[in-house]
């Protein structure tokens, strides 16, 4: 699939060559990720050239990861020395405050963010549900977006027809399916995005929390569709603020704080500890 980094595919080939069964797995060793945030004149080539390089580095602490500022460029240490191994069959929930690094970790696992610090190794066919509008063009109609998405995930023509029928039945958009997506209400757009994103059947599924949105009728349908998907996947990594959902679905919870793992263990243990800190 397109979502695989070439490096993953190579690893999969290598293990197949050695006669090992290629079970999907996720492995992080001392993995750190920093990203720059530019503000002020750091976005300007002219100003950056004139200013030259200043070495005024100031350390500051904040709610998120550690932050290092260099006048107009801020480097955020979003993930800090994570060591973690997720085997086939595990369903992992990520919890933590906003800015704790949950979404960044998902993006790193998906191969969208890359870092050369430490080791990140993902084996298996991976699919990430990170944004309801992923790859969607709001000027295209719903139907056109379905076809475009089919192209994105590399479906054949006959599979595209199936996808179209499947998503059409799920999203219940009626005549709106042939209107541009920008005319949709936010609920309709989510229904379409959800229907599309949950169509592939990957081995490793990464999921961000927006999947819990929507009206109650939709939520029931969505949960049914998700359950079918999750039964199929070998590894699930999900972020959510909804503790009951995590308790119900996950076999393991990782509590993140400031880009580090604060606690890692069975759902009841970690969620109770998390609740105790946040509500007690």
Partner 1 sequence: MSQSRYARAWDDLASGLRSWRLAATLGWTDVRLRYRGSVLGPFWLTLSALVMVVSMGVIYARLFHMNLREYLPFLSLSMALWQVGLSSLLLESCTCFIDAEASIHAMKLPFSLQALRLLVRNAIVFAHSIVVPIGVFVIYGVSPGLISLVSLPGLALWMIDGFASCLLLGALCARFRDIPPIMGAFLQIAFYVTPIIWKPSQLSPRQSALLMLNPFYDLLELVRAPIFGTLPSLPVVMISVGLSAFWCFIAFLFFARTRARLAFWV
Q: Which residues bind partner 1 (CB under 8 A)?
A: 2-7, 10-11, 35-36, 38, 43-46, 48, 107, 110-116, 119-120, 126, 128, 130-131, 133-135, 137, 139-140, 144, 148, 151-152, 154
- Closest CB 253 distance from partner 1, rounded Å: 25
Half-sphere exposure of 186 (CA within 13 A, CB side): 5
- Of 195, 124, 118, give the one whose Cα is nearest residue 164: 195
Closest to 4 in 3D by CA, of 112, 104, 155, 145: 112
Residue 157 CB, shortest distance to partner 1, in Å, is 11
Output 196 or 253, the one with its CB closest to partner 1. 196
Place of tokens 């039945």: 169
C-beta of 206 vs 253, nearer to partner 1: 206
**How does DSSP classify residue 274?**
H
Residue 111 Cβ vs partner 1, minimum distance, rounded to whole Å: 4
Say how far apart CA 269 and CA 277 lie, in whole Å.
Answer: 13
Closest to partner 1 by CB, 71 or 115: 115
Can you say whether the dihedral through the CA atoms of 187, 192, 195, 197 is positive or negative? negative
Shorter beta-carbon distance to partner 1: residue 128 or 246: 128
* Shorter beta-carbon distance to partner 1: residue 120 or 233: 120
Distance of CA 182 to the CA centre of its chain: 24
Which residue, 139 or 272, is less far from partner 1 as judged by CB? 139
Q: Which residues contact 71 (CB under 8 A, 6 or more apart)?
A: 40, 42, 51, 54, 56
Residue 17 to residue 228: CA distance in whole angstroms: 32
Least spacing, CB of residue 131 vs partner 1, in Å: 4
Q: How far is the CB of 149 from partner 1 (least distance, A)?
A: 10
Contact 274, 95 (CB under 8 A): yes
Work out how close the CB of 84 gets to partner 1 at its nearest, in angstroms, rounded to a whole number.
16
């Amino acid at each position: 699939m397109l979502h695989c980094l070439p490096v993953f595919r190579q690893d999969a080939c290598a293990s197949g060559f050695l006669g090992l069964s290629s079970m999907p797995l996720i492995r992080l060793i001392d993995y750190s990720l920093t990203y720059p945030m530019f503000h002020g004149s750091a976005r300007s080539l002219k100003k950056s050239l004139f200013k030259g390089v200043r070495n005024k580095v100031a350390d500051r602490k904040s709610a998120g990861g550690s932050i290092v500022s260099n006048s107009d460029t801020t480097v955020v240490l979003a993930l800090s020395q994570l060591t973690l191994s997720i085997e086939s069959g595990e369903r992992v929930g990520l919890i933590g405050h906003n800015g704790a690094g949950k979404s960044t970790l998902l993006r790193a696992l998906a191969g969208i963010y890359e870092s050369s610090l430490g080791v990140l190794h993902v084996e298996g066919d991976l699919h990430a549900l990170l944004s309801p509008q992923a790859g969607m063009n709001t000027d295209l109609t719903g139907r056109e977006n379905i076809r475009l998405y089919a192209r994105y995930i590399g479906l054949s023509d006959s599979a595209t027809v199936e996808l179209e029928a499947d998503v059409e039945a799920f999203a219940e958009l009626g005549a709106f399916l042939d209107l541009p997506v920008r005319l949709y209400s936010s609920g309709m757009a989510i229904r379409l995005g959800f229907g599309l994103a949950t169509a592939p059947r990957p081995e490793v599924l990464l999921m961000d929390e927006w999947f819990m949105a929507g009206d109650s009728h939709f939520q029931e349908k969505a949960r049914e569709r998700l359950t079918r998907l999750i039964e199929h996947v070998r590894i699930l990594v999900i972020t959510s603020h909804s503790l009951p959902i995590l308790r119900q679905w996950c076999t393991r919870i990782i509590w993140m704080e400031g880009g580090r793992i604060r606690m890692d263990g069975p759902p009841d243990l970690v969620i109770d500890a998390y609740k105790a800190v946040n509500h007690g």
